[in-house]
């Protein structure tokens, strides 16, 4: 018996040397988030109109369900969509069908006539907008063809009637002497090598064609070239709202019910025109409406746009704020839940259950350390809970408790910083023997009210997307870890460490039992 006990103790000591005590996993504090839906949930839910369409509901039924108290009206006009911003002082435009570039204000060498397939450099240099050919093989967009060495005669010649000549550069026509009627601007001689202007530029494709950008996207209508912050170019697509709707990327599925596509077209048209009435511009990403350009067009949506031409949602004679999201989880949200603002200014944006085939349930396991890092909590978290919910059940206030005291954040901040899909969730904090995966979330910006779109800051350009891309939102990846990289991942529970712990405990019990029951000499 004594030999067995000694052997057990020796085995335990050996295992403790082989497997350090630090390798034995301690419980991990994990926050489990169980939610539904995708997006802010206010107004129309795209899963709702899809489900209603499958159930045979009409477009009017859908709009009445999600924007109660509104009526249909008529409106139209042009929209100006910021399709590229903050990309530097120059860009390249591609003209698959040819076109022309005009200038505003004092200029020289305009209009510039562009041949089919040409790539043209536009830039803002020394306080002026300049236009010129790109070096062979450079540029992007369109079909990628380089400039040619000859051009077809332009529709409008720039040769003066006094015999002054023109020099044709690859793809553009540039005058080399002042036009008839007097001398040119003072800077004419110095700038004669390429057209230049003190005012913004406007590029127009020929024959209803498109203009390509370096991102690979193509746009109908005109591209305005404007400088911001002294040098950075902003490219703005000025296009009729009906053409704009055909290029939206909000619904990329031609198998949707026709009535649902019509409802989407009407809501999108109303949103865009209302945004224009407040700011004169609209963004091209999910903060406004996803707009991909001409390559996003497909027959079913084109027909829905044509069938509803000019139709908008109105309330008391004005354009309604027709916000919408991908999935409301079966219950639309209040304005306070979705945008953080309450009040009675938008009576048609109210929470209510709706028909859906899929409320999109989801679950996330997040370590307490990652929650603390994402929300700026300096201590060790022990509990995360919802302190206040809205009428649809969405989180309005989330409370963090731990060694640094109590911290409250809005449900919208909690959602955004942890890269969740919506604020329609429940929270549970518990100890777990299995750690949560390292958190690499997504900042998925949500749609703003159209009247607030003008205040949205510029954002980096989206990556190139192929035709009929299935991704309708863009995201910026982030890490909840401190600067320098994510925290080291805890070791996964293994087999050796628990075995060592078991044998060690068994050895202690055996030795203790032997000591209590050891033979004693009689006194």
17 plus 35 within the same structural domain: no
| pLDDT computed for residue 26 by the predictor | 65
Q: How many residues does the chain have?
A: 523
502: number of Cβ within 10 Å = 12
The per-residue pLDDT for 193 is 76
Instruction: Answer with the one of 230, 245, 261 that is the final residue of a domain.
Output: 230
| HSE (side-chain half, CA atoms, 13 Å) at 243 | 20
Asked, for residue 318, whether it belongs to a domain, the answer is no
Strand partners, 123: 90, 130
d(CA 2, CA 8): 10
Instruction: State whether 6 and 35 are in the same domain.
Output: no
Q: What is the pLDDT of residue 144?
A: 36
- C-alpha triplet 280, 285, 288: angle, nearest 5°: 50
Last residue of a domain, one of 230, 246, 281: 230
Task: Categorise residue 132: left if φ over 0, alpha if ψ from -120 to 50, beta otherwise.
Answer: beta
160 shares its domain with 215: yes
Q: What is the pLDDT of residue 443?
A: 58
Q: Would you tell me how many other CB atoms lie within 10 Å of the CB of residue 443?
A: 12
500 and 437, same domain (yes or no): no
Q: Which residue has the tokens 């020099």?
A: 167
State how many domains the chain has.
Answer: 3
Residue 260 placed within a domain = no
**β-pair type (201-205, 395-402):** unpaired
Same domain for 33 and 101: no
Taking the C-alpha atoms of residue 374 and residue 368, their distance in angstroms, rounded to an integer, is 10
184 in the same domain as 116: yes
State the average pLDDT for the chain.
Answer: 79
CA-CA distance, 94 to 155, in Å (whole number)? Answer: 19
Residue 82 maps to a domain: no
- Residues 472-483: pLDDT tens digits? 332 222 222 222
Please report the pLDDT score of residue 143 as a whole number: 36
pLDDT for the residue numbered 85: 86
* 195 in a structural domain: yes
- What distance in Å separates the CA atoms of residue 172 and residue 336, rounded to the nearest whole number? 54
pLDDT at position 295 = 94
At 51 the pLDDT is: 98
Quote the CA–CA distance of 320 and 317 in Å, as a whole number. 9
Q: Does residue 66 form part of some domain?
A: no
- 220 shares its domain with 93: yes
In a domain, 170, yes or no: yes
pTM more than 0.85: no
Pairing of strands 99-103, 201-205: antiparallel
Please check whether residue 400 lies inside any domain of the structure: yes
Q: Is there a single domain that holds both residue 17 and residue 127?
A: no
- Please name the residues in contact with 13: beta carbons below 8 A apart, sequence gap of 6 or more: none
Per-residue pLDDT of 203-262, as tens digits, reads: 999 998 999 999 999 999 999 999 987 678 999 999 999 999 999 999 999 999 999 999
Tens of pLDDT, residue by residue, the chain (523 residues): 555 444 555 445 544 454 454 455 569 999 999 999 999 999 999 999 999 999 999 999 999 999 999 999 999 999 999 999 866 899 999 999 999 999 999 999 999 999 999 999 999 999 999 999 876 544 444 333 333 323 333 333 333 223 333 333 334 443 333 333 333 333 333 344 789 999 999 999 999 899 999 999 999 999 999 998 767 899 999 999 999 999 999 999 999 999 999 999 999 999 999 999 998 899 999 999 999 999 999 999 999 999 999 999 999 999 999 999 999 999 999 999 999 988 888 999 999 999 999 999 999 999 999 999 999 999 999 999 999 999 999 999 999 999 999 999 999 999 999 999 999 999 999 999 999 998 775 556 789 999 988 767 765 544 443 332 232 332 222 222 222 232 333 333 333 334 444 444 444 444 345 444 544 444 3
Q: Are residues 414 and 510 in the same domain?
A: no
Do residues 456 and 496 share a domain?
no
Helices 46-54/59-66 angle, 10° precision: 140
Q: How far apart are CA 104 and CA 225, in angstroms?
A: 11
Q: Which of 445, 482, 452 has its CA nearest to residue 40?
A: 445
Give the per-residue pLDDT at 458.
Answer: 67
Contact 487, 435 (CB under 8 A): no
**Which structural domain range is residue 207 located in?**
89-230
């Amino acid at each position: 018996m004594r030999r067995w006990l000694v052997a057990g103790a020796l085995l335990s000591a050996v295992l403790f040397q082989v497997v350090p005590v630090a390798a034995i996993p301690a419980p991990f504090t994990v926050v489990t988030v169980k939610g539904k839906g995708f997006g802010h949930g206010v107004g129309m839910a795209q899963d709702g109109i899809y489900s209603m369409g499958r159930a045979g509901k009409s477009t009017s039924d859908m709009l009445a369900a999600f924007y109660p108290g509104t009526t249909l009206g008529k409106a139209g006009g042009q929209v100006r969509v910021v399709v590229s911003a903050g990309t530097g002082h120059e860009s390249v435009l591609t003209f698959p069908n040819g076109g022309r570039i005009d200038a505003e204000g004092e200029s020289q060498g305009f209009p510039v006539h562009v041949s089919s397939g040409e790539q043209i450099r536009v830039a803002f240099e020394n306080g002026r907008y300049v236009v010129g050919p790109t070096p062979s093989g450079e540029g992007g967009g369109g079909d990628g063809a380089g400039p040619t060495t000859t051009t077809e005669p332009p529709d409008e010649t720039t040769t003066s009637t006094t015999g002054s000549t023109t020099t044709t550069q690859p793809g553009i026509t540039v005058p080399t002497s002042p036009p008839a009627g007097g001398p040119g601007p003072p800077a004419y001689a110095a700038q004669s090598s390429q057209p230049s202007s003190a005012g913004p530029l406007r590029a127009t494709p020929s024959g209803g064609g498109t203009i390509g950008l370096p991102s690979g996207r193509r746009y109908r209508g005109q591209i305005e070239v404007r400088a911001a912050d002294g040098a950075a170019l902003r490219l703005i697509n000025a296009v009729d709202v009906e053409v704009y709707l055909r290029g939206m990327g909000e619904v990329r599925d031609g198998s949707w019910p026709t009535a649902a596509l019509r409802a989407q077209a009407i809501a999108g048209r109303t949103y865009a025109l209302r945004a224009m009435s407040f700011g004169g511009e609209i963004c091209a990403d999910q903060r406004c409406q996803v707009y991909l350009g001409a390559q996003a067009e497909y027959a079913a949506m084109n027909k829905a746009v044509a069938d509803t031409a000019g139709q908008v949602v109105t309330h008391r004679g004005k354009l309604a704020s027709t916000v919408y999201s991908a999935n409301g989880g079966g219950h639309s949200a209040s304005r306070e839940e979705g945008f953080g603002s309450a009040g009675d200014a938008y009576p048609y944006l109210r929470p209510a259950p709706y028909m859906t085939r899929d409320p999109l349930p989801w679950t996330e396991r997040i370590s307490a350390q990652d929650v603390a890092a994402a929300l700026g909590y300096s201590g060790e978290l022990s509990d995360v809970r919802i302190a206040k919910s809205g009428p649809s059940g969405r989180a309005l206030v989330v409370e963090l408790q731990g060694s640094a005291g109590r911290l409250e954040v809005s449900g919208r901040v909690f959602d955004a910083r942890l890269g969740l899909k919506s604020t329609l969730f429940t929270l549970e904090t518990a100890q777990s023997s299995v750690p949560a995966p390292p958190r690499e979330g997504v900042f998925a910006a949500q749609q703003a009210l159209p009247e607030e779109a003008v205040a949205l800051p510029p954002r980096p350009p989206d990556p190139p997307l192929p035709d009929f891309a299935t991704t309708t939102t863009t995201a910026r990846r982030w890490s909840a870890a401190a600067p320098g990289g994510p925290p080291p991942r805890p070791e996964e529970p293994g087999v050796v460490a628990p075995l060592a712990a078991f044998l060690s405990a068994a050895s202690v019990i055996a030795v203790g039992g032997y000591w209590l029951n050891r033979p004693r000499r009689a006194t």
